[in-house]
Amino acid sequence: MANINVENVSKLIPTLGDDKIDMIAATSVLQIRASEIRQSQINWQSYLQSQMITQRDHDFIVNLDQRGQKDLPDKNPDVCADVFLNLLTHISKDNTIQYVLVLIDDILSEDKTRVKIFRNAKHGNVWQPFLNLLNRQDEFVQHMTARIIAKLACWHPQLMEKSDLHFYLSWLKDQLKSNNNDYIQSVARCLQMMLRVDEYRFAFLSVDGISTLLSILASRVNFQVQYQLVFCLWVLTFNPLLAEKMNKFNAIPILADILSDSVKEKVTRIVLAVFRNLIEKPEDQQVAKEHCIAMVQCKVLKQLSILEQKRSDDEDIMNDVDFLNERLQASVQDLSSFDQYATEVKSGRLEWSPVHKSAKFWRENAARLNERGQELLRTLVHLLEKSRDPVVLAVACYDVGEYVRHYPRGKHIIEQLGGKQRVMYLLSHEDPNVRYEALLAVQKLMVHNWEYLGKQLEKEIDKQGGTAVGAKA
């Protein structure tokens, strides 16, 4: 099993340590409930009398719990691990399991090196008793267990085994997706810890974790969860390969929206930090350039200008604003009209920008839509099928028509990609502008006499205004 590079991990979090994150976490539902459970009194004698625990287990837990001998885990590490694993395995009562888990979490929180007590090879697969508890009905048991697993996985020099890791990360991902999860801050906190470890990041990618984070961020969540999930993206982007992949999940448009709407400085700070990583970390400079263009397309420069005028006292924010401003302004100067168009299409946020209506652009670049396996054409057809935004649909219809008009084999290719069918479907769209652009696109797909088409278009334009050409005559 590979060892975690502790030096690299420590570099990942230059401005926010565990102590500050745990101060935030202290207000979470999990921590509030844990404070209540610590006040419980467990009758360990009754468990001994019913032979559910041994005399050794009874004496150890009583000395640790009721008599306050807090150094017992360090004096008797093997006994400590055995006792706690036995308790978790043989006791079924929820309130006792809750109490035992809080004790374990407190022991680990007091001293990180105590993870070795539980991960000693002598105790076999230590993960199984904890992973089993993730399937319990009691939500506190589930989420306190998840918190303990994260500590065992991150603070021990030996990595978590692949199958156990996959199960755990899948569980965290599913918890993020569940509706009205009161413990979502705790789930996010576990991920904040796990994703600092480079080897765990690709495992998270393999369970579709990144798209899950972004789909939640694209919805409305409270600023604390928003901050924690963007934090997860931030630590992911310290890996150059993941930084290169990130915008394939549409990360930049989603983060740009968050930046635009943000009223909390810490959310602003962490989004800017992700943007900086997306430019600095990729080893492929073409990808870094594409990220810059995507940020420009998503109006990030405007937000940077607003932040510059406010002049925050936070040095991290202003350093990142200055860095991003410089890099994005430089990318604008190098931006060709086709780069601008390609970025806009990939973002899925089509608007009536000048490039669409430029006849010169279509004459010079229509053939380029066939590049990279017709990537841009496929994206346009996908938008025609999936988008609910009338402006996006109208512009996509227009672009399909212009491509067909300026590329000799365009009609055949669009038909192969299913674009003609999608455009014809939009002829009955509820929005009149979408219907109009769909009609023009269909005409371009079906008519080859462009002079005749031009006259027909004039008639359609006049009809949109309420008067036909014939009526004027």
Q: What is the pLDDT of residue 178?
A: 87
Q: Quick one: CA dihedral 389, 391, 394, 398, positive or negative? A: negative
At 473, the pLDDT band (50, 70, 90 cuts) reads very low
Residue range 196-210: average pLDDT? 96
Residue range 354-371: average pLDDT? 90
Residue pair 399/437 in contact (Cβ under 8 Å)? The answer is: no
Chain centroid to CA 124: 35
Q: Is the pLDDT of residue 18 over 70?
A: no
Question: How far is 305 from 424, CA to CA, in rounded Å?
Answer: 43
319-to-111, 272, 273, 281, 315 alpha-carbon distances in Å? 35, 10, 10, 17, 6
Average pLDDT, the chain: 86
At 65, the pLDDT band (50, 70, 90 cuts) reads confident
**Rg of the chain taking only CA atoms, in angstroms:** 29
Question: How far is 300 from 324, CA to CA, in rounded Å?
Answer: 9
Q: What is the pLDDT of residue 451?
A: 45
Q: Is the pLDDT of residue 375 over 70?
A: yes
Q: What is the pLDDT of residue 367?
A: 94
Percentage of the chain lying above the pLDDT 90 cut: 63
Question: How far is 179 from 216, CA to CA, in rounded Å?
Answer: 11
Q: Quick one: CA dihedral 27, 32, 34, 36, positive or negative? A: positive
435 burial type by CB count under 10 A (0-12 exposed, 13-18 middle, 19+ buried) = middle
Residue range 397-419: average pLDDT? 93
Residue-by-residue DSSP string for 187-238: HHHHHHHHTTSHHHHHHHHHTTHHHHHHHHHHS---HHHHHHHHHHHHHHTT
Q: Hey, what amino acid is at 226?
A: Q
At 323, the pLDDT band (50, 70, 90 cuts) reads very high
Residue range 255-265: average pLDDT? 93
Q: What pLDDT, in 10s, does the model give residues 124-162? A: 678 989 999 999 999 999 999 999 999 999 999 889 999
Question: How far is 419 from 404, CA to CA, in rounded Å?
Answer: 11
Residue of 369, 378, 381, 388 whose CA lies nearest to 434: 388
Q: What is the pLDDT of residue 237?
A: 97
Q: How many other C-beta atoms are found inside a 10 Å radius of the C-beta of residue 419?
A: 27
Q: Is the pLDDT of residue 5 over 60?
A: no
For 43: left if phi > 0, alpha if psi spans -120 to 50, otherwise beta; the answer is beta
What is the SS3 string spanning 84-109?
HHHHHHHCCCHHHHHHHHHHHHHHHH
Which tops the pLDDT comparison, 25 or 115? 115
Residue pair 427/420 in contact (Cβ under 8 Å)? The answer is: no
Q: What is the pLDDT of residue 434?
A: 95
Q: How far apart are the first and last CA of the chain?
A: 85
Question: How far is 230 from 215, CA to CA, in rounded Å?
Answer: 12
Q: What is the pLDDT of residue 73?
A: 85
Element (H, E) at 146: helix 139-155
What is the SS3 string spanning 414-450?
HHHCCHHHHHHHHHHCCCHHHHHHHHHHHHHHHCCCH
Q: Is the pLDDT of residue 7 over 50?
A: no
At 469, the pLDDT band (50, 70, 90 cuts) reads very low
Residue of 270, 266, 279 whose CA lies nearest to 329: 279
Question: How far is 237 from 230, CA to CA, in rounded Å?
Answer: 11
Alpha-carbon torsion angle 41, 45, 48, 52, nearest 10: -30
Q: What is the pLDDT of residue 208?
A: 95
Q: Which of these ranges, 119-128, 156-165, 184-193, has the smallest mean pLDDT?
A: 119-128
> What domains, with CATH codes, occur in the chain?
1-185 (1.25.10), 208-335 (1.25.10.10), 356-472 (1.25.40.150)
